[in-house]
Structure 1
Amino acid sequence: MKTVLFVCVHNAGRSQMAEAFVNHYAKERGLAVVGESAGTVAGTQINPVAVEVMAELGISMAAQSPKQLTQELADRADKKITMGCGVDADACPARIFFTEDWGLDDPKGQPIEKVREIRDQIKARVETLLAELA
């Protein structure tokens, strides 16, 4: 089983959507891949607009909640991806080396049309990632 960890600052939008996409499509395709996400300063709730735009695609994030990045989460991940949120490795509560950065806009405070665009960018990147890991 391969684990992909998506890291953001608050773990409330982009990283949560990436986690949900990986878990949904990996299960659907029978892939031995699991997605997890965490924040360097975890928020208190997932962005409700992110939840809404994922539900439009039939993917529920109801069971997800923001999680604090820990060394344990980082250590068990095979691939660690930041979402473009300026995660400062020196400020991380865990000592990790990030595999790549996806450079995505923050959906916080954005209109639903913009959040849909971000969602679709994440979906495309997850599709590519899963093809690489398959």
Structure 2
Amino acid sequence: MSVDRIAFICKGNAGRSQMATAFAERERSERGLDIDIVTGGTDPADHIHQAVIDAMQGRDIDISDRTPRKITPDDIEDVDSVVTMGCSVDEFRPPDWTGQSQQWDLEHPGGDDVDEMRGQRDEIERRVTAFFDELEATETDGDPSTET
């Protein structure tokens, strides 16, 4: 399956999906991939949680200028793969959408505990890296030019 567009979605778009999006942007850049990344929330918060901003700064990623936004069916109409965290793709899926989805079972840590957020950040980073490893493996499967 060729993946040109992915989405990371959670309820508030103020923590988990923002971290996943930032890590995905880094992976896209480091791997030289041409993939659009969309993010949003089913019930967006007013701002990114400060503990999330602080935790991401520990990975030299600044997301302090980002704003949570509502995800809409139009946002994912052309998305190949949706990753949800704490919500379901059924909440915003267009009726004719044929992409793939996966649910990452990540609890909302709540509060502004930076140590707790760092643990979740590390888990999200691990999952995003594995997700991109799978994308690259899928892209190269069956392509004779990539076999050694």
Shorter-chain TM-score: which interval? 0.7 to 0.9
| In structure 2, C-alpha distance between the alignment counterparts of 1:28 and 1:88, rounded to whole Å | 28
Deviations 1:51-79 (A, max 9, x none): 11111101111342111111111112110
Structure 1: gaps of 5 or more residues: none
TM-score relative to the length of structure 1: 0.87
SS of the aligned residue for 2:77 comes to: helix
Deviation at 1:94, TM superposition (A): 4.5
**Counterpart pick for 1:26 among 19, 25, 28:** 28
**C-alpha spacing 1:88/1:77, structure 2 compared with 1 (3 Å):** closer
Query: How many pairs does the alignment contain?
Result: 131
Q: Give yes or no for contact 1:107–1:115 (8 Å, CA) kept in 2.
A: yes
Could you say which residue in structure 2 is the equivalent of 1:79?
81
**Counterpart pick for 1:115 among 104, 114, 117:** 117
Could you say which residue in structure 2 is the equivalent of 1:64?
66
Could you say which residue in structure 1 is the equivalent of 2:44?
42
% of aligned pairs identical?
A: 29
| In structure 1, C-alpha distance between the alignment counterparts of 2:19 and 2:62, rounded to whole Å | 10
Q: Give yes or no for contact 2:28–2:34 (8 Å, CA) kept in 1.
A: yes
**Counterpart pick for 1:104 among 95, 103, 106:** 106
| In structure 2, C-alpha distance between the alignment counterparts of 1:46 and 1:38, rounded to whole Å | 12
Once superposed, what is the RMSD of the aligned Cα atoms?
Answer: 1.9
Q: Give yes or no for contact 1:50–1:107 (8 Å, CA) kept in 2.
A: no
Structure 2: gaps of 5 or more residues: 137-148
Deviation at 1:87, TM superposition (A): 3.5
TM-score relative to the length of structure 2: 0.79
| In structure 2, C-alpha distance between the alignment counterparts of 1:107 and 1:33, rounded to whole Å | 29
Which has the larger Rg?
2
- Which amino acid in the other structure matches residue 43 of structure 2? V
**Counterpart pick for 2:19 among 17, 36, 47:** 17
